[in-house]
Amino acid sequence: MWEQLIDTQVSVDQNMKKKWEAARDGKEKGAALIGASEKVLHDLNQIISRATNDLEQLVERYADLSLSGSFSAQVGSAVRLLEQNYASLEKGGVGREQLQRVKRSLDHMKRKLELLHITKENVQKESSGVGSQ
């Protein structure tokens, strides 16, 4: 079951606060705000990168489990989830390296899904051939 987790964190970067307070005019305050924004953006990109890594590992483990049984529908769902994740990251303007990593994971899962479909077809052909002999 999915559970939505809202993670609200309020923190004050004391270094940035000092820069803001020391700023004398709008230009210096603007520079301080840009610096703070860049730091927040960097932190968010790191969080997204870690979450993407976690998702990639979970999908990979899920696929390994799925390959041991008849779970092509679940692997298909995992592929669609990765496709949605890729699309949102692409629109969000994340780094090229992170986007390529998600794309590689997505392509890998698509190959596993294709393998599941081929295996299922072969099993069905074999089972229908056995019954007719």
Q: Structural domain of residue 66, as residue ranges?
A: 28-124
pLDDT at 133: 47
Q: Which residues, 6+ apart, have CB-to-CB distance to 105 below 8 Å?
A: 56, 59, 60, 82
Interval 61-98: pLDDT, tens = 776 665 555 567 777 888 888 888 888 888 887 888 88
How many structural domains comprise the chain? 1
- What span, in angstroms and rounded, lies between the C-alpha atoms of 60 and 102? 12
| pTM attached to this predicted model | 0.48
Query: Is 21 part of any domain?
Result: no
Which residues 6+ apart lie within 8 Å of 51 measured at CB?
A: none
Q: Specify the residue for token string 């299922």.
A: 120
Residue 69 is predicted with a pLDDT of 57
Answer yes or no: is 130 within a domain. no
- pLDDT tens per residue across span 14-53: 888 888 888 888 888 888 889 888 988 898 889 988 888 8
Q: Cα dist. 126→70, 71, 122 in Å?
A: 16, 19, 6
In a domain, 7, yes or no: no
